[in-house]
Structure 1
Amino acid sequence: MDATLSSEKGEVAVADPTHHERRHSKSTERDEIGRIDAMADAPGVTLDAFSHLDEKKILRKMDMRLIPMLAVLYLLSFLDRGNIGNAKIEGLQDDLGMTSDQYNWCLTVFFFSYAAFEVPSNLLLKKLRPSRWLPLIMVAWGTVMTLMGIVRNYEGLLAARFFLGIAEAGLYPGCAYYVLTMWYCRHEIQLRQAMFFSAASIAGAFSGLLAFAISKMDGVGGLEGWRWIFILEGLATVVIAFVAFAVLHDFPETASFLTEEERAFVVYRLRYRQDKKVSQDGRAQVAEADEFRWEYVWQAFRDWQIWTNIIVYWGIVCPLYGISLFLPSIINNLGYTSSTAQLLTVPIYVTAAILAVIFAYISDRVGKRSPFVISFLFVMLVGFAMCISTTNPRVVYAGVFLAACAIYPSFPGNIAWLSGNLRGGYKRSAGMAIQIGVGNLGGAIASNMYRQKDSPRYILGHALELGFISAGIIAAFILVISYAAANKRRARIMQESGNFSNEELAAKGDKAPTFRYMY
């Protein structure tokens, strides 16, 4: 579609569609991206040029085409990394002749390889097509998961978990980067983040239900029931990966479900209208440099806010993995049978998923992150304090219920908080991968918190959770104070210094004096 932007009239004019069809058949994807970029970047174009478009309708179209598939991908990812907890209470540890320490090492090794490969994967996602890269790594981890069902000893399970970490490393940071920053503005991202992250809590619910059902296959094909948990869930991942090849979309510039004019609008708003309230000529406020330079990657590694945010992330992710990996065991050790323990995990995860979406919507509406993240960290403190203070099964169950209902809403808020405060495509890609990669080393710690010899009270595990949550609260307050001071300092610079060129602001990214941190 040949299209030109008329800056005099402030509107988009589209040429003959028949001519576009002939050109489209010959054009490459790069040509198409360049054409849409040129429409969005044309001199004199402001939001008025797109005022006749229905923004809410466009967002709904994006939501329907992007979020459901990504939610399914993440559901399978979280299901496959956490189902070892369900397999354990169905006999995995005894059948493989493992000690409790060896079992914990099988949990831990996953996070070492997972953390190491997140940054490279996100940089590859930026270079390659998401619709190819994400399904490819799904096939890889689905294959590993299926083969995990035939391991015969501790060494085999340890190796399988290591390679599962490598294969899964790119999925979550890739989805988070892909959805949060390549399609939506920063005041819209937490709701979308929560919509697909809530798949993690649904995965927890499914994990219990599936494990309960699949374990009934014990003896089928001469295999134990826990082996069928790995085999069937791994095969399901491979099947869905091939569906993802067909339905995932890459970038707004090439989105076939949007018209060219709508695509140009999506690109424009991403570059020049990241906040709800900007001036009509608000380009300089969020100017971004998107060409690859190693300098942008190193900027991410040197950025103080990323490393401070990682402490907040640990305050959330350690309880998250403590719950997801050990919840069946915690409930089982309260005196319930393994089948009942599997089923009692379901209402916890379903409630957490609903709350994650509700509070994400509220957070996006008010344009604030820290009040929600900090409040939920305090709720987690209360939940784990209940667990550590009593042996009453009902109180302990209520405590983990309360903690989970705070963990799952706070996680997308934390991710959205940092991603909204990073500017420049490659810096954001690297920064989010660092946050999630290094942050997930907290999962390695959480894997060893709940030792079998500490059951049924797990005092050490609950106490460590309380410590990480407390550190997260302190780091969150440091971020709030630092962001507020930086915003005031930049406002003074703008009053005193005057004008900056778009090129200067693009090079500075989130360090530009026109950029304001969200907190």
Structure 2
Amino acid sequence: MTVENEKQSAANVEHTLSSADKEAHDGTSAPQITPEMENKILRKMDIHLIPMLALLYLLAFLDRGNIGNAKIEGLLDDLHMTGQQYSWALTVFFFPYAAFELPSNLLLKKLRPSRWLPIIMLAWGIVMTLMGVVKNYQGLLATRFFLGVAEAGLYPGTAYYITLWYPRHRAQFRQALFFSAASIAGAFSGLLAYGIAKMDGVGGYAGWRWIFILEGLLTVLIAFVAPFGIHDSPETATFLTEKERQWVIHTMRSQSKVGGNALEDDDAQVKETTKFRTKYVKDALTDWQIYVGLFMYWGITCPLYGVSFFLPSIIKALGYTSSTAQLLTVPIYITAAVVAVASAWVSDRRRQRSPFILFFMSMIAIGFIICIASSGRGVPGVVYFGVFVAVVGIYPAFPGNVTWLSVNLAGDYKRAAGMAIHIGVGNLSGAMASNFYREQDAPKYILGHALELGFCVAGIIAAVILRLGYQRINKKRDQMDISRIDRVEAAKMGDRSPMFRYML
């Protein structure tokens, strides 16, 4: 399918979804919504949904990555740890984190998001606080493990939650708003660590301990507020009027069975896409696109975790003090957040995913090439610039990658399972990246930069393969006769239906 045909098809979809004469699932006509009213509804959802989700993820990423700030404030010396033990403390987080994401996403589908997400948030806040009072390496290892257990369900859960509210051609901007909290967390982490470290000696605790304790207590506090800021579904959203609620429900159901194609739907077809079947989980486990997408995911998240855990150390190794290194992380993350949101807005407007992902992954590769070429040559500013370029590529590429896969998985349970597998197994990259930047490689860190570059190049190749595969399948389906296909049976097939078209 050509870009022009895809855009025309998308335009037809949008027109069909908002037309007044289309049958809704309850037998009533869909509310007639003008483009201005549609934008008003989306803004209303943005205001009521995204801030709390972003805050939750900000705190999760803050609590996950603040160990990098604690490291340069004396963590290793006080706990008598080696650089290799520090790497293992980072690594152990990701094994339970990957293992528990799929069951957590299936539980989220069964339970109320306004209850499940705050519960896991409370759990990791308690673990984070306890990390501030550990006495040795074994204690740190145990708390990092249980932090992985508790945080496992948050990102895949909230990423999936967004797909229940927004049409697929509107989703990346919201994913970027939500995920930009991670880059803001990186900025806050440096600022907070700079300030909290000044509490060194208060209450008999070292400054790095207060980083864990205060940030953990903040998470616990927000966990008690979160249930009041999370709305379970469009059907129960009190901030929407009846007409607005019906439009959102109608729009999401209309795209659920064929990925947004402008086709008539019915109750039976919708029920097939939202009913739990073991088959949908098996379909996700055997779907080729998830496994090709994993290499693309690793090409982004290996650099993501490498930077989040070691950026303060990398900058400090350039010759800066600990305090200056903490502060120099801030402009990098702030710029990355702005670029991520702006690029996602353009991506939604163009209804294209892969061109933007490939562009920003190329930026990641260029950034690490600059780091490798300039390390050890007495030009710390150039190395810093290389890291800057890499991070500004990472944060826009990540939500594009997650959104691209999510909009190409049809059926609620398959999407929930597929996203959990993609993100869960994909986050094993954190276990790998935790060992890329070794103490003995400072200050050049050539091995770490080279490994990040290698994963990024592999991810670029995977993204190209994924796009070519989607194009081939779309073209094949365009030539198929679907006039005799039963729509309920097609709905059971999800994105494998001849009616489904992959977004490029």
Shorter-chain TM range is over 0.9
Is 1:152 the counterpart of 2:139? The answer is no
Choose the corresponding residue for 2:280, options 286, 296, 302: 296
Alignment of 1:246-265 (within 5 A): 246-265=228-247
TM-score using structure 2 length: 0.92
Aligned residue identity for 2:444: R
Choose the corresponding residue for 2:401, options 392, 395, 414: 414
Match of 2:367 in 1: 383
Match of 2:344 in 1: 360
Tell me if the contact between 1:47 and 1:280 (Cα under 8 Å) persists in the aligned partners.
Answer: no
Is 1:243 the counterpart of 2:225? The answer is yes
Match of 1:21 in 2: none
Aligned residue identity for 1:341: A
Tell me if the contact between 2:303 and 2:433 (Cα under 8 Å) persists in the aligned partners.
Answer: yes
Percent sequence identity over aligned pairs? 63
Choose the corresponding residue for 2:78, options 91, 95, 100: 95
Tell me if the contact between 2:31 and 2:247 (Cα under 8 Å) persists in the aligned partners.
Answer: no
CA distance change for structure 1 residues 278 and 294 in 2, over 3 Å: closer, same or farther?
closer
CA distance in 1, matches of 2:467, 2:303: 22
CA distance change for structure 1 residues 82 and 52 in 2, over 3 Å: closer, same or farther?
closer
Q: Who wins on radius of gyration, i.e. which is larger?
A: 1
Q: CA RMSD in A?
A: 2.0
CA deviation after TM superposition for structure 1 residue 501, in Å: 2.4
CA distance change for structure 1 residues 98 and 10 in 2, over 3 Å: closer, same or farther?
closer
CA deviation after TM superposition for structure 1 residue 47, in Å: 4.8
Tell me if the contact between 1:40 and 1:268 (Cα under 8 Å) persists in the aligned partners.
Answer: yes
Match of 1:164 in 2: 147
Tell me if the contact between 1:86 and 1:207 (Cα under 8 Å) persists in the aligned partners.
Answer: yes
Aligned residue identity for 1:254: T
Match of 2:15 in 1: none
Tell me if the contact between 1:53 and 1:262 (Cα under 8 Å) persists in the aligned partners.
Answer: no
Q: SS state of the match for residue 93, structure 1?
A: helix
Match of 1:326 in 2: 310
Match of 1:86 in 2: 69
CA distance in 1, matches of 2:479, 2:259: 22
- With CA pairs under 8 Å and 6+ residues apart, which has the higher RCO, 1 or 2? 2
Choose the corresponding residue for 1:58, options 35, 41, 47: 41
Aligned residue identity for 1:155: Q
CA distance in 2, matches of 1:80, 1:280: 45
Match of 1:450 in 2: 437
**Unaligned 5+ runs, structure 1:** 1-8, 13-38
Aligned residue identity for 1:166: V
Aligned residue identity for 1:343: L
Q: SS state of the match for residue 516, structure 1?
A: coil
Choose the corresponding residue for 2:99, options 116, 129, 136: 116
Q: Which runs of at least 4 in structure 1 moved beyond 3 Å after TM superposition?
A: 9-12, 45-53, 273-284
**Unaligned 5+ runs, structure 2:** 1-18
Match of 2:417 in 1: 430
CA deviation after TM superposition for structure 1 residue 436, in Å: 0.5
CA deviation after TM superposition for structure 1 residue 185, in Å: 0.7
CA distance in 1, matches of 2:33, 2:186: 43
Match of 1:106 in 2: 89
Equivalences, count: 480
Tell me if the contact between 1:46 and 1:281 (Cα under 8 Å) persists in the aligned partners.
Answer: no
Choose the corresponding residue for 1:206, options 188, 198, 217: 188
Listed one character per residue, the Cα deviations across residues 321-380 of structure 1 (whole Å, up to 9, x for unaligned) are 011100000000000000000000000000000000000000000000000101111111
Aligned residue identity for 2:291: W
CA distance in 1, matches of 2:495, 2:385: 42
Is 1:215 the counterpart of 2:209? The answer is no
Q: SS state of the match for residue 41, structure 1?
A: coil
CA distance change for structure 1 residues 283 and 467 in 2, over 3 Å: closer, same or farther?
farther
